[in-house]
Amino acid sequence: MKIKELQDGMKRVEVEASVVEKGDTRQVQSRYKDEVYNVADAIVQDETGTIKLTLWNEQIDMVNLGDNIKIENGYVTSFKGEIQLNVGKYGTLTVL
């Protein structure tokens, strides 16, 4: 699937893209448990466009600027009017 085809609410998406930007890691508090998670945003692109990818915990260290990645069983959400690609608990992120 190409980035320009991604729409809010899509599930089970498979995308290959390259990492063109990676933001700083920040910590967020869980809404449900007394836990803190690390999160960072990356911008990934293919020949059709770019999208923000949310990276959690160990995914942050897996991905570096310039890497080609593959996301399987991911999903798309919208946050503050911007669509985002997510790997989620059931998806996989692979560095190619």
pLDDT band at 11 (very low <50, low <70, confident <90, very high): very high
- Render pLDDT for 36-95 as a digit per residue (tens, 0 to 9): 999 999 999 999 999 999 999 999 999 999 999 999 999 999 989 999 999 988 999 999
Sketch the domain layout of the chain as residue ranges. 3-95
| pLDDT beyond 90 at 12 | yes
One-letter-per-residue 3-state SS of 26-80: EEEECCCCCCEEEEEEEEEEECCEEEEEEEECHHHHHCCCCCEEEEEEEEEEEEC
pLDDT (mean) for 19-34: 92
Of 51, 47, 44, nearest to 95 by C-alpha is 44
Architecture of domain 3-95: Beta Barrel (2.40)
Half-sphere exposure of 92 (CA within 13 A, CB side): 5
**Distance between CA atoms of residues 31 and 24, nearest Å:** 22
